[in-house]
Structure 1
Amino acid sequence: MGLPSRRFGKGDPDVMMDINTTPLIDVMLVLLVMLIITIPIQLHAVNLEMPVGTPPNDAIKPEKVQIDIDEKSTVYWQGLPVNAAELEEKMNAISTMTPQPEVHIRPNKDCQYAVFANVLSSSKRKGLSKMAVIGHEQFVQ
């Protein structure tokens, strides 16, 4: 009795169409373990450096200076119109005060930007550090 030939004959086995997934799963598990090991441990704490000692006494509240710019680009210092020279002079005076006053600039949305920029740049030149532009809600459309 002879063995049937695998190359010729009706007893040819079907072609196997399945892929062997065992090596793929092994590689994925190794990669997963490596990933877990290499990820640094996340701390759920936030390190804060809090100040030590007593807080400073803010008994002296700084004065507030209001600078308005209307729609005709006229500059007002505490409600009184001023020109560029007077504005520079008044800024010189408040820059030497201790504590330095807070300067609130309130431009109108229709004023010229050059006038507003001039007020900001002159305050910067004079060393005024407590500046605020207020009334910016009017610029939001």
Structure 2
Amino acid sequence: MARRPRENAAAAPAPVTVTVCRGCCCGATAKHPGIDHAGQLARLREGVGGAGKVRAVDCLDACGHSNVVVVSPSAEGRRAGGRPVWLGWVLADDMIDEVAEWVRAGGPGVVPAPGTLDLQAFTVSRRIREGLPD
């Protein structure tokens, strides 16, 4: 059977992707009382808007850095050498706003992270990095 070509064969370029951990520790009121986790996710989605994609996942296995957010570069950012940036302890609204601003500006590989986010960045093992869902 012959395959029909798609109407829009040109795939849209991959946007900046923000992955928000919402598993056992991240997003848990028991670990972070007083934090509106659902509100933070909504704020991030609203702040990023059409500049990127925000997704919540169950667990990124970096619980010692809870609340974890991973900002992955767009196709353009990856071509420029950008790699995913793992941010830990993203608990305050101003941090959420800075992530959204960075995504709107182009994200990893396109523009440097705001200096305050550098303080949140951490390195994970290859095993954990490779387990990040697509």
Q: TM-score, normalised by structure 1?
A: 0.30
Q: Which structure: larger Rg?
A: 1
- TM-score normalised to structure 2 length: 0.31
